Amino acid sequence: MDTLTLRRPDDWHLHLRDGDALRAVVAASARQFARAIVMPNLKPPVTTLADALAYRARILAALAAARDAGELDERAAAFQPLMTLYLTDNTRPAELEAAARSGMVQGVKLYPAGATTNSDAGVTDIRKVDAALETMQRVGLPLLVHGEATDPAIDVFDREHVFIDQVMEPLRRRFPALRIVFEHITTREAAHYVRDAADGIGATITAHHLLYNRNAIFTGGLRPHWYCLPVLKREPHRLALLEAATSGNPRFFLGTDSAPHAQRLKEHAAACAGCYTAPHALELYAAAFELAGALDRLEGFASLHGPRFYGLPVNADTVTLRRAAWTIPEQLPFPGDAIVPLAAGESLQWKLAPAA
Binding site for Zn ion (CB under 5 A): 257
Helix (H) or strand (E) holding 242: helix 235-245
Q: Is 307 helix (H, G, I), strand (E, B) or coil?
A: helix
In the complex, the smallest distance separating the C-beta of residue 224 from ligand DOR, rounded to whole angstroms, is: 11
In the complex, the smallest distance separating the C-beta of residue 257 from Zn ion, rounded to whole angstroms, is: 4
Site track for ligand DOR across 115-134, x = CB under 6 A:
-xx-----------------
Distance (Å, whole) CA 320 – CA 354: 8
The closest of 135, 206, 204 to 175, measured between CA atoms, is 135
Smaller CB separation from ligand DOR, 83 or 294: 83
146 belongs to the binding site for ligand DOR (CB under 6 A): yes
Please confirm, yes or no, whether 257 is among the known catalytic residues: yes
Distance (Å, whole) CA 260 – CA 269: 17
Q: Which does 273 bind (CB under 5 to 8 A by kind): Zn ion, ligand DOR, none?
A: ligand DOR
Q: Which does 274 bind (CB under 5 to 8 A by kind): Zn ion, ligand DOR, none?
A: ligand DOR
- Radius of gyration, CA atoms only, the chain: 19
229 belongs to the binding site for ligand DOR (CB under 6 A): yes
Among the options 10, 11, 51, 257, which is catalytic?
257
C-alpha count within 13 angstroms, C-beta hemisphere, residue 10 = 27
Q: Do 37 and 84 contact (CB within 8 A), yes or no?
A: yes
Pick from 30, 37, 228, 339 the residue near ligand DOR by CB under 6 A.
228
In the complex, the smallest distance separating the C-beta of residue 2 from ligand DOR, rounded to whole angstroms, is: 34
274 belongs to the binding site for ligand DOR (CB under 6 A): yes
Helix (H) or strand (E) holding 28: helix 19-32
Residues in binding contact with ligand DOR, number by CB under 6 A: 10
Q: Which does 117 bind (CB under 5 to 8 A by kind): Zn ion, ligand DOR, none?
A: ligand DOR
Q: Is 235 helix (H, G, I), strand (E, B) or coil?
A: helix
* Phi, psi dihedral angles at 92 (to 5 degrees): -90, 135
In the complex, the smallest distance separating the C-beta of residue 111 from ligand DOR, rounded to whole angstroms, is: 7
